[in-house]
Structure 1
Amino acid sequence: MTTTATPAPEPERTGPRRAGGGGTLAFVESPVQLLNVLEWAHARAPRASVTVVVLPPHDPMTRGQLRRMAQLARDEGHAVDWAEARGGAGAPLRTVTALARPLREAGRIVIGDPFSRYVQLLLALSGTAADLTVVDDGTATMEFTAQLAAGAKRFTRWHRKGAGGARALLFTPASRRARRRLTPGPRRRVELFSSMPVEPPEHVTVVENTFAWTRERFGPPALINGSDLVGTSLAETGVVDVDRYVEAVRSLARAHGAVRYFAHRRERTEKLHRVAVECDLEIVRPDLPLELVARRGPVARTILSFPSTVVHTLPLALAGTGVEVAVCDVDPAWLSAGASPRAQGFLSGVTATARGVQRLPASGA
């Protein structure tokens, strides 16, 4: 069985408003990024309106969650522009042209994914005096800060192998300029707003994301017996073998009495069908980031997860509710033949640094 929310209407497409006179301009490409922009505004600029530019991908589940998050942002008094930057051959140029002036005039730029080539291009075009804030884009924040501290000339996602091919080489000048923009200077402050365990370089200010806005806005949730299991896109990104993953889900669900499986927005339909049939789980496709879904409830007293962002964020979002979060390690035998050499170490680090969670051994094999 699959539970899916009714699609929300497509947002009105508008040209990007000017953040103007020292205002704040935020760029988001995922629902989690937009959630963390709202958390940042609540914590750091509670009386200010942020202009949020949504750069939606083609994936329908991501777009659906972004629509709902965009409405929440509007409800909080922020301006939201839906920019179809990937909507055809001429869309990137039109979007960049429309954003050129707002980028130069913004006093602060907030981004959620410094690995994104689109965001790097926008940073390369931004005014050199604007302050920068990086909000969490999940566990990728940990890899970003590690590469920033190490002085990496180019940012590379942890699950990717190689240098990225010819397209990456063509993009090198913009990537290097974006890298310089993310380095603090005499006229430019760089801030990291994060719930992740990070060790950024000197002169980067770290502000802890406690999910205060989420806790104030939603819940507390009603609790149900049993366990909920959180899905991941580790198979979709080529990190783990899909057969091993499904077997691990089945073993974990049986051992802990899981009934529902909260699908990651990037999980493929074919894999989810296997999880439903072979693991006897109800598939739930959340219409918002899991932190908000769990906070609204109902939610199980125990939430099971493999190494992912939620093992860091859910204990904060659900603080004081009595919900326990448990994380299951990834067995090295599950890794696919094409997995990055860094994959196992990165996943182990995600688990080892999670606070307030129960550690579980790898299930299935």
Structure 2
Amino acid sequence: MHPPASTSTPTTLAFVESPVQLLNVLEWSHADHTATATATATPPVLDALPGQPPRRQLAAAGDGRATAAGRPRPSPVRIVVLPPTDPMSRGQLRRVAALARDEGHQVQWQEARGSSLAPLRALAALAGDVRRADRIVVGDPFSRFVQLLLVPVRAEEIVVVDDGTATMEFVAQLGRGERLRRWHRTGGGAAARVRELAYAPVSGTARRRLRHAELFTSMPVEPLAGMRLRLNDFGWTRSRFGPPRLTRGTDLVGTSLVETGVVEPARYLDAVRALAREHGATRYFAHRRESAQKLRALSEATGLEIVRPDLPLELIARRGPVGRTVVSFPSTVVHTLPYALCGTGVTVAVVDVDPAWLTGSASPRARSFLAGVTETARDVRRLPAATARAAG
């Protein structure tokens, strides 16, 4: 057991549902501690980076590697993990949770899925702690369970840490006064609309609370009035790992766009095959949600070594080995890897998704959202969709 925080230190309670969210709680704690330790009144914010790519700016101040062993750790955070049901996500969560415990944080594993009673049991177990917390940190503002947890919150300070590119849509929807809805979700039928109406009071309360939250992000978003924006430059990752050994080849980064019903499977396979051939790629880092059947087909069609990371890619890449070029479809990593790999000499490239690859059931928002992920990425090399178009 870790010792409790000093009574003068705010009690911080964090809720995460994915490995990336848990990593970003560690990044937030590190940034918060660094700002306090250096007596910095206002931590770096995204709009303080006009026209300068992140790697150049970070390199000017050093690559973030630790220079003082035994420096004081951040104040401990109680982190509640609300795990999904898929084995890959749960495995990665357990690995990142071990890193969090090594940093002195308290990690609680709370099942909130898997049965009809699991959410009710979890709410009953957590409600009292939520009311007593001085500060709440959440990783997925779209989560209905997290929104339910925000109802009894009494803390004036709420922090939202990155959940990848979903953060961009979160801020946009909140600014427009819309209900929070994941960008790849379609409308649903009459039953779904009835459920939305019944849930409206909860979602409305969550939006009001989140409207004045602090946002800790690597994404290129504009802060809303009353919202504090703090830059996530992956300082904790850079201080703890690397720099990595670089290989001569190119690494491809997988995506779950097929699994979420956005991209046609055959189109995706053709695109990966073309990218591997053109860039001499040898490895494919699979997304944790990619199916085993799809990955087998990719391996057979391309000859790529399929790597299923046991940690978020930012940590895997920083620890190395990693290719001198990393190619990705529009995803979170085209925004985060330039920070995590600052000063290492790795080039991050992003390939556009051709609208012709989209499925007939893809949401109307899919095309513009994916284009926006690519267009707003800084310090990356852009590859046209035609580069990955299947021959013939």
What is the TM-score of this pair, normalised by structure 1? 0.91
- What residue number does 2:175 align with? 149
- What residue number does 2:47 align with? none
Query: Which runs of 5 or more structure 1 residues have no equivalent in the other structure?
Result: 1-11, 185-189
Q: Which amino acid aligns with 2:201?
A: P
Q: Are positions 1:78 and 2:105 aligned together?
A: yes
Q: Identity rate of aligned residues, in percent?
A: 65
- What residue number does 1:36 align with? 24
Aligned length: 343
- Give 3-state SS (helix, strand or coil) of 1:125's partner: coil
Q: 1:355 aligns with which of 358, 378, 385?
A: 378
- What residue number does 1:364 align with? 389
Tell me if structure 1 keeps the 8 A contact 2:264–2:357: yes
2:116 and 2:103 map into 1 onto residues whose CA distance is 34
- Give 3-state SS (helix, strand or coil) of 2:151's partner: helix
1:18 and 1:240 map into 2 onto residues whose CA distance is 47
Give the 5 Å matches for 1:263-342: 263-342=286-365
Tell me if structure 1 keeps the 8 A contact 2:5–2:75: no
Q: Which amino acid aligns with 2:378?
A: R
- Give 3-state SS (helix, strand or coil) of 1:239's partner: coil
1:169 and 1:79 map into 2 onto residues whose CA distance is 37
How far apart are residue 18 of structure 1 and its match? 11
- What residue number does 2:147 align with? 120
> Is 42-51 or 116-125 further displaced after alignment?
42-51
Q: Which amino acid aligns with 1:69?
A: V
Tell me if structure 1 keeps the 8 A contact 2:295–2:306: yes
How far apart are residue 19 of structure 1 and its match? 11
2:22 and 2:33 map into 1 onto residues whose CA distance is 15
1:253 and 1:166 map into 2 onto residues whose CA distance is 46
Tell me if structure 1 keeps the 8 A contact 2:95–2:310: yes
How far apart are residue 166 of structure 1 and its match? 3.6
Q: Return closer, same or farther for 1:219/1:107 CA change in 2, 3 Å cut-off.
A: same
Give the 5 Å matches for 1:198-209: 198-209=221-232
1:342 and 1:283 map into 2 onto residues whose CA distance is 30
Give the 5 Å matches for 1:123-272: 123-127=150-154, 129-152=155-178, 154-162=179-187, 164-184=192-212, 190-272=213-295
Tell me if structure 2 keeps the 8 A contact 1:229–1:261: yes
Tell me if structure 1 keeps the 8 A contact 2:183–2:369: yes
> Is 46-55 or 319-328 further displaced after alignment?
46-55
- Give 3-state SS (helix, strand or coil) of 1:201's partner: coil
Per-residue CA deviation, residues 177-207 of structure 1 (Å, 9 max, x unaligned), is 11111122xxxxx200000000131110000
Per-residue CA deviation, residues 14-56 of structure 1 (Å, 9 max, x unaligned), is xxx9999841100000000000000000001353110000000
Per-residue CA deviation, residues 331-360 of structure 1 (Å, 9 max, x unaligned), is 010000001111111101100110110000
Tell me if structure 1 keeps the 8 A contact 2:77–2:106: yes
Tell me if structure 2 keeps the 8 A contact 1:18–1:102: no
Tell me if structure 1 keeps the 8 A contact 2:217–2:230: yes
2:239 and 2:318 map into 1 onto residues whose CA distance is 10
Q: Which amino acid aligns with 1:255?
A: E
Per-residue CA deviation, residues 102-148 of structure 1 (Å, 9 max, x unaligned), is 11111110001100111111112222x43110000000000000111
- What residue number does 2:125 align with? 98
Q: Return closer, same or farther for 1:19/1:254 CA change in 2, 3 Å cut-off.
A: farther
Per-residue CA deviation, residues 136-174 of structure 1 (Å, 9 max, x unaligned), is 00000000001111122x101111121644433332221
1:45 and 1:173 map into 2 onto residues whose CA distance is 36
Tell me if structure 2 keeps the 8 A contact 1:26–1:111: yes
How far apart are residue 88 of structure 1 and its match? 2.6
1:90 and 1:241 map into 2 onto residues whose CA distance is 36
Q: Are positions 1:67 and 2:90 aligned together?
A: no
- What residue number does 1:54 align with? 81
Q: Which amino acid aligns with 1:286?
A: P
What is the TM-score of this pair, normalised by structure 2? 0.85
RMSD of aligned Cα (Å): 1.7
Q: Which amino acid aligns with 2:322?
A: V
2:273 and 2:389 map into 1 onto residues whose CA distance is 8
- Give 3-state SS (helix, strand or coil) of 2:186's partner: coil
- Give 3-state SS (helix, strand or coil) of 1:157's partner: coil
Tell me if structure 2 keeps the 8 A contact 1:85–1:95: yes
Q: Which amino acid aligns with 1:160?
A: R
